[in-house]
Structure 1
Amino acid sequence: MRHFDLIIIGSGSGNSILTEDYEGLDVALVDGGTFGGTCLNVGCIPTKMYAYPATVARHAREVERLGVEAEVTRVRWREMRDRIFGRIDAISRGGLDYRRSLPHVTVYAEHVRFTGPRTLRTASGEELTAEQIVVAAGSRPVLPEVPGIDLPQVHTSDTVMRIEELPRRVVVVGGGYIGAEFAHVFSSLGSRVTQVNRSHRILRYHDPEIAERFAREAARQWKLEMGWALASVTEAEGEDGAVTATFTDPEDPTLTMQIPADVVLVATGRRPNTDLLDVAAAGLDVREDGLLAVDEQQRALAGGTPAEGVWALGDISSPYQLKHVANAEARTVQHNLMHPGSLRATDHRFVPSAVFTSPQIASVGMTQAEAEQWAVEHGTEITTKVQDYGSTAYGWAMEDHVGLCKLIAEKGTGRLLGAHLIGEEASVLIQPLVQAMSFGLDAHTMARGQYWIHPALSEVVENALLGLEVPEHSPLAPEALVARR
């Protein structure tokens, strides 16, 4: 049995905990997957490295409205793939080699399970114990249990980016952000894409106005089929490598739809890896959604109270499944491990997210429905404003008829409650709104307390702020900014 000061399970955001402050500790870093975690190897980074050239290709096909004629003559898929993973795989190998080179770190490149409180067994049978354990073991794609799901033509986001050739026909199963991003990638690069969703609403966690606008634009770029559930995948006769995806109506299984494809991408969500760790053996609490239960300080819970010496972060314990959230939680754990007398909490108040599809989407805070319910509960009123990209000078330059910025605020104070954007660079335009919400800046002070570059696209945010029915002298506004106005 080997005893450590600290064991970290997972080499994604958990790996970032190990700074020079930990050089005096005997540390084990355990990961049976690819070193670097989801974001680096199969998530955020490679998907966006595909999404960017896909967006460039999409723009090339749509610039005719600006008086420019362009076309995409060829997509060199293998070259694109090898450029992406040539870089990523080197980072993964380099990170693993670096950790192995440190005298105070022991790397276990295998899976582990809990056998008791702060006690683990590796896949090879070695027993490990520690004073402190950080669980950062991530999540994995969910696959429906249907015939043919194990065929080589069926992929998840973990595998589809490494295929040999750009497929002619792609069926994307799922209406969430992963499905939306890959539908954009394959469609924009030249595949014939059909996206199929079980419900009749795509991107269901987004504000309905954003989801409806996206559905309209998505249907213009690829085929959308709503209200169908995947029933099976079968190899097609007489067509080498092809398959047929069969779908049924969830309410009437006798109604079926068949779609031929070269690749079927199943993007029906991800699940936390708690079930692979046997956390019950350590007495740790698991929520109904499968997440490892934690408190605000990222301490894992056992019987509703913090388990001694066990912490968790990232997809295994966070409902957000976002790298920037996992990094923030890692910073919390990093501090709390070394400063047990002054624990910090992770700030989850205003968590932004973005969908790198076409058009791009970004969101932070409450949807309109959530804000209306919040207003009823707090005896207040809200105000909303929808500002089209096309109402600004840069929107005119783009001939934009798609983008919009939707803001939601408390009427009496100007406190921003939610921001939802769809359109060009939405993930960038939302950042000042995240900043305003995080630091308590009211809408009017944000709009008039600073310069906005004219005629930059950011004016759509300025104009949306000015369109909200809020007081010019909010009780939230800093006195210095009130005086300047």
Structure 2
Amino acid sequence: MKTLQVDVAVIGSGTAGLTAHKAARLQGKRVVMIESGPYGTTCARVGCMPSKLLISAAEAAHAVAAAPGFGVHPGPVRIDGQQVMARVRSERDRFVGFVLDGVEAIADEEKLRGHARFIAPGKLQVDEHTIVEATSVVIATGSSPIVPPEWRAAGERVITSEAVFDWTDLPQSVAVVGSGVIGLELGQALARLGVRVTLFARGNKVAQLTDPLVLQSADEVLARELDIRFQTSVAKLARSEAGDAIALTSRNGEGEEKTEQFEYVLVAIGRSANVDKIGLEKAQIELDRHGVPLHDRHTMQCGKSAVFIAGDASDEIPLLPEAADQGRIAGENAARFPDVQPGLRRTALGVAFTDPQIVTLGASYQQLCVTHPGRFAIGAVSFDNQGRSRVMLQNQGLLRVYAEFGSRRFLGAEMIGPRAEHLGHLLAWACQAQLTVDAMLDMPFYHPVIEEGVRTALRELALHLEKNPDDVPECADCSPGV
């Protein structure tokens, strides 16, 4: 077994790992990046890019279906599932290829293949071939989809989103378990492509929403075209007698059970950080109850140690922009340890590419009910009769915006609405710039645009900020977890 001495060892070569490697390398340090799985980021291989390819195909099919509303009547629609999935796989491979080109450009001596685990602080063993002694270590091991063992025992037709993008054709039916971003995006896309889809949600929550009124709007809007069973859990999964389907037994809020058959069951109930098999007990760092290292989110340092963490492994926000930012901060601090400095953490921004899109930014409603009880005002706009939205026949959804009494500073927003990804970016920039509502209303608004809906919500917010906070009724749903 050989020994390798470096300044910084990075475990993982996803978005966070690649960014950490580059950040440390730019400071002139000796860096090695260790990877046990395939190269190519989660986003490119099985995440944001292939899912958007599937969603784009679904949007094309939906546009044809919606055309008669404008008086445009196309001919019969034929969805070629094999062609749809061929494009998804082809373009997915193209995106992965770009990542692989970047990995290939890294010097061979800075890459090490194999599974790394701590055998002591600052010392890693990679398989049975290399000991890596590092001044600092960055953990960027990513995350994996959660599948309960008893569900997995039902066979290979119980899948996660990662399996979807290797399909060569669209199935006849899919049960989606979970109403988070992944479940909603893929469930709606498959349904629009002609797949019989039923989505099972344990509660009433969808995606990342916490505002009860926006959540109510989202529930109603999405249920208009998608078979969503709220307050319904999965009681049992079993392979069919022929082996070509899964029998799913669900249980609703009244305790009533129903068994249905689906070609696949797509499990989308969350992801867990890949930190359980890297010997953290030997790293001498403190862990939380999930086994994730406790760390400072501004420096990504684990306690006072020379270990840093980034990306999905941190169990914070499993998004590519966050992974990149965390990777850069972790890599820079690992390189200059012990001179650890806080890095830039941007305003939170999350997008679910459903239709309408779901966006949250800045402080959420639930967070503000804890940090600013009785000290924040709310403005809102419904997209039901918003001008440009109605012109496009996309007039569904609700936007709620929040600001602080006294300072009038804009704090955040939650929404479901047309082209919300763009509204979300504008509002996230305003939030990070710490603009007041008055300053935001001074900005130009063209006509007719969806952004005029933002102005309507901000105008209502400004009026509410004029009131005494004591005159604003306490919200009934301000407790954490609502």
The alignment's TM-score, normalised by the length of structure 2, stands at: 0.88
Instruction: Please give the per-residue CA displacement for 1:226-276, whole angstroms capped at 9, x wherever unaligned.
Output: 2333233223235x7222112345885xx4221211111001100001112
- Does residue 1:110 correspond to 2:111, yes or no? no
Q: Tell me how far 1:330 sits from its aligned partner.
A: 1.7
State the alpha-carbon separation in 2 of the partners of residues 79 and 41 from structure 1.
Answer: 19
- Structure with the greater relative contact order (CA < 8 A, sep ≥ 6): 1 or 2? 2
- Does residue 1:460 correspond to 2:464, yes or no? no
Instruction: Please give the per-residue CA displacement for 1:117-159, whole angstroms capped at 9, x wherever unaligned.
Output: 1212223443222122111111000011325545121110111
State the alpha-carbon separation in 1 of the partners of residues 286 and 44 from structure 2.
Answer: 29
State the alpha-carbon separation in 2 of the partners of residues 320 and 434 from structure 1.
Answer: 16
Q: Tell me how far 1:10 sits from its aligned partner.
A: 1.1
Question: SS state of the match for residue 227, structure 1?
Answer: coil
State the alpha-carbon separation in 1 of the partners of residues 369 and 269 from structure 2.
Answer: 29
1:388 to 371, 379, 382: 382
Greater displacement, 456-465 / 411-420: 411-420
Greater displacement, 47-56 / 187-196: 47-56
State the alpha-carbon separation in 2 of the partners of residues 346 and 36 from structure 1.
Answer: 26
Question: SS state of the match for residue 274, structure 1?
Answer: coil
8 Å CA contact 1:199–1:226 kept in 2: the answer is yes
1:446 to 440, 443, 459: 440
State the alpha-carbon separation in 1 of the partners of residues 112 and 75 from structure 2.
Answer: 50
State the alpha-carbon separation in 1 of the partners of residues 254 and 465 from structure 2.
Answer: 52
Greater displacement, 55-64 / 402-411: 55-64
AA paired with 1:129?
A: E
Q: Give matches, 1:37-186, under 5 Å.
A: 37-70=41-74, 73-93=77-97, 95-96=99-100, 98-100=102-104, 102-103=106-107, 105-147=109-151, 149-186=153-190
Gaps of 5+ in 1: 474-485
Q: Give matches, 1:191-210, under 5 Å.
A: 191-203=195-207, 205-210=209-214
Q: Give matches, 1:391-406, under 5 Å.
A: 391-406=385-400
Q: Tell me how far 1:28 sits from its aligned partner.
A: 1.8
Q: Tell me how far 1:416 sits from its aligned partner.
A: 1.4
- CA shift in 2, pair 1:80/1:420, >3 Å: same
The alignment's TM-score, normalised by the length of structure 1, stands at: 0.87
8 Å CA contact 2:136–2:337 kept in 1: the answer is no
8 Å CA contact 2:21–2:32 kept in 1: the answer is no
- CA shift in 2, pair 1:114/1:416, >3 Å: same
8 Å CA contact 1:299–1:307 kept in 2: the answer is no
8 Å CA contact 2:437–2:462 kept in 1: the answer is no
Question: SS state of the match for residue 132, structure 1?
Answer: strand
1:22 to 25, 30, 33: 25
8 Å CA contact 1:445–1:472 kept in 2: the answer is no
State the alpha-carbon separation in 2 of the partners of residues 120 and 67 from structure 1.
Answer: 66
1:314 to 300, 306, 311: 311
- CA shift in 2, pair 1:257/1:382, >3 Å: same
8 Å CA contact 1:143–1:149 kept in 2: the answer is no
State the alpha-carbon separation in 2 of the partners of residues 153 and 427 from structure 1.
Answer: 33
AA paired with 2:257?
A: T
Question: SS state of the match for residue 61, structure 1?
Answer: helix
Q: Tell me how far 1:286 sits from its aligned partner.
A: 1.9
Residue equivalent to 2:274: 273
State the alpha-carbon separation in 1 of the partners of residues 162 and 457 from structure 2.
Answer: 39
Question: SS state of the match for residue 285, structure 1?
Answer: coil
Gaps of 5+ in 2: 467-482
State the alpha-carbon separation in 1 of the partners of residues 298 and 107 from structure 2.
Answer: 30
Residue equivalent to 1:257: 258
